[in-house]
Amino acid sequence: MAQRLSVELAQINLLVGDISGNTRQILEQARQDVAAGSDVIAFPELSLTGYPPEDLLLRDSMRLRVEAALQEICTAALPVYIVVGHPLHEEGRIFNGLSVIHAGSVIAQYRKQALPNYEVFDEQRYFTPGNSPCVVEMAGIPVALTICEDLWHDLPMAQVAQSPARLLININASPYHHGKDAERLELLSARARQLSMPVCYVNLVGGQDELVFDGGSLVVDAGGQCRVRAGSFSVLRKRVQMEVAESGELHLRDSDCAEALSLEASCYQALVTGLRDYIDKNGFPGIVLGLSGGIDSAVTLAIAVDALGADRVQAVMMPFDYTSELSLRLAETQARDLGVTYRVVPIGPAYHSFMEALQEEFEGYPVDVTEQNIQARCRGVMLMAISNKKGSLVLTTGNKSEIAVGYSTLYGDMAGGFNPLKDVYKTLVYRLAEYRNQQTVSAGEVPRIPEEVITRPPSAELAPDQRDEDSLPAYDRLDNILALYIEQDLSAEAIIAQGHDRDEVFRVLRLVDRNEYKRRQGPVGVRLTRKGFGRDRRYPITNGWTPGE
């Protein structure tokens, strides 16, 4: 009989810092795999602590809790090879490591060699890099083990190539951004061909503050072909059966590749996952948001209902003198169709009370944006009061385009605890609305977002006949300029060279630069791009840089 190996990829959702809870989840999954006859079960990177644990790694008790967790897994003495990621403390140093546990003993350990220190990653702040490979014989087959970033670097891969390994297992906590699934598959295919062996890639799933881990665990064969791809944004286990051929190569017996998601589908699921886990992992009973009848709040409401269910969502329409009848109707229609709690709380009395109190202070000054900001802040106060009374978290609804140029009000529409659309450009907001409606129509349901919300011109409705494009460039042009400046770090002259108007480019870039102080005070939100307004982009508030440089 041919020699065989059954490997289980455990794509699980973990809570950072909950070492005992994460350990229980790992043991539960491992026991199920023993019953199913698996030989190996691989868990994601830093699975005992969750990822990223950040400065929790610096606490003295971290080492003791991790050691206790490893001992608990060993005590279970399960007859399966358990590959589990965790911080590894040695002589005052911390490594991003993994242990292989079998039948009650730690039989091998590995220390991550390539420590990422770009975009959202900050591993060199905490970890010491390893320098040695790890090959473990599992059920008679030599298996190499690496961690996440190692797969992207030549030295760890050269070590694997020079080893007797016939299979590579790479454990990951790889966060989502646009196009990440295609990048991974391309890399794994190239590495598998380079190593002439199958590669198993297991990834974390779930939301952690601004980060969302999309899972999408993969197995490619020695020829670089995808043989197994797990679904994205779902907790699941994926098993792959292998056997040794007469040539000594390890062949995969399985072929089950889930279809890759479209951009709109992956973004939408990332937003739902990020919101759900932020609310649930932090123990909030639900959310409350301002529903204006506009596109941003409408998409946010749809995401909230998909993430939490209608019974945990409250929408509040807060009309004022400039709120149109159309906005009132569209907000009520969407709230009714989605079945959420809906209230109308006019801000007129609060606004006029503020104006009366400030009458002497404002005497002699013309009406300007101040009065618009007071409207937004009245709404912010209303939502925060409801939040305080009911315990629900306030969702803000600003998109990346507005946040980039400061088209928002501190302590007004920026007041809240989480912003699902923080890294979603306005043009993508519209695409997500169309995508979500297509899904409901295909299922024979009422569209989640009224069509008139999508087709009407965007407006903050803070002044008579106001339109966003009175203050901003058209969103297709604006978003292109922003993406070039924020995500590609192009200079003003380089952006102009791509065909954009000089005056418009300099105006937009000045707005981006001078509104860093606002962004620093905004709520956390889901990261979708390589350069979100959070861990990715750390610009000084006070600086003398000019956008032409």
- Arithmetic mean of pLDDT, 441-453: 87
pLDDT in tens, 371-400: 999 999 999 999 999 999 999 999 999 999
Beta strand 218-220 with 226-229 is antiparallel
* Alpha helix positions (H), 47-153: 61-76
Return the CA Rg of the chain: 26
Q: pLDDT tens across 215-239, in order?
A: 999 999 999 999 999 999 999 988 9
Vertex 302 angle, CA 298 and 304, to 5°: 115
The three-class DSSP label of residue 467 is coil
Question: Would residue 112 show up in a list of annotated catalytic residues for this protein?
Answer: yes
User: What mean pLDDT is predicted for residues 428-451?
Assistant: 91
Confidence band, pLDDT 50/70/90 cuts, at residue 242: confident
Position 134 scores a pLDDT of 97
- Residue range 33-58: mean pLDDT, rounded: 95
What pLDDT shows up at residue 285? Answer: 97
pTM, 2 dp: 0.94
Instruction: Please check the confidence at residue 180 and state whether its pLDDT lies above 70.
Output: yes
Average pLDDT value over all residues in the chain: 94
| Residue 426 in this model has a pLDDT that exceeds 80 | yes
pLDDT of residue 248 exceeding 80, the answer is no
Token pair listed for 227 = 């043989």
- Tell me if 46 sits within 8 A of 53, measured CB to CB: yes
Residues 276, 461, 370, 374: what is their CA dihedral angle, to the nearest 10 degrees?
-50
Q: Is the pLDDT of residue 119 over 90?
A: no
Write phi, then psi, for 91 (nearest 5 degrees): 50, 45
Give the distance from CA 68 to its chain's centroid: 30
Query: What pLDDT is stored for residue 458 in this prediction?
Result: 83
Mean pLDDT across 401-413: 94
Element (H, E) at 405: helix 400-405
Beta-ladder partners of 250: 244
Beta bridge partners of 256: 228
b/e map of 346-371 (b: 16 or more CB within 10 Å)?
ebeebbeebeeeeeeeeeeeeeeeee
**Cβ pair 270, 526 in contact under 8 A:** yes
pLDDT at 1: 47
**Dist. CA 357–CA 513, nearest whole Å:** 34
Of the candidates 8, 45, 149, 461, the residue annotated as catalytic is 45
d(CA 165, CA 124): 29
Domain residue extents for the chain: 4-261, 265-470
Across 32-36, 162-166, 335-339, least confident range: 32-36
Is residue 191's pLDDT more than 60? yes
Q: What are the strands of the beta sheet with 313-317, ordered from one edge?
A: 341-344, 313-317, 287-290, 393-395
447-451 contacts at long range (C-beta below 8 A, 24 or more positions apart): 447/337, 448/302, 448/305, 448/334, 448/337, 448/338, 449/295, 449/298, 449/299, 449/302, 449/334, 450/298, 450/330, 450/333, 450/334, 450/337
- pLDDT tens figures, 502-537: 999 999 999 999 999 999 999 999 999 999 998 888
Tokens of 13: 């959702």
> Residue 189 pLDDT more than 90?
yes
Taking the C-alpha atoms of residue 282 and residue 99, their distance in angstroms, rounded to an integer, is 29
Strand duo 250-252 + 256-257: pairing: unpaired
State how far the Cα of 4 lies from the Cα of 262, in Å rounded to an integer: 36
What's the CATH code, domain 4-261?
Answer: 3.60.110.10
In the CATH scheme, what architecture does the domain 265-470 have? 3-Layer(aba) Sandwich (3.40)
For residue 100 the two structure tokens come to: 């292989």
Interval 421-427 mean pLDDT: 97
Give the per-residue pLDDT at 258: 82
In this predicted structure, what is the pLDDT of residue 441?
82
Give the pLDDT score at 3.
85
**Confidence (pLDDT) at 355:** 96
Q: Write down the pLDDT at residue 549.
A: 57
Percent of the chain with pLDDT over 70: 99
Q: Which tens digit of pLDDT belongs to each residue from 129-139?
A: 999 999 999 99
Alpha helices in 499-548 (DSSP H): 502-514, 516-520
* 259 catalytic per annotation: no
Q: What is the DSSP letter of 484?
A: I
- Provide the pLDDT for residue 219: 95
Per-residue pLDDT tens over the stretch 452-496: 999 998 877 677 777 877 788 999 999 999 999 999 999 999 999
d(CA 8, CA 231): 15
E strands, 112-235, in order: 135-138, 141-147, 167-172, 199-203, 205-208, 211-214, 218-220, 226-229
Whether 518 is a known active-site residue: answer no
What angle (nearest 5°) sits at the alpha carbon of residue 34, between those of residues 31 and 216? 80
Per-residue pLDDT tens digits for 83-99: 999 999 999 999 999 99
Please give the residue that has the higher pLDDT: either 118 or 18: 18
Among residues 8, 134, 148, 402, the one annotated as catalytic is: 148
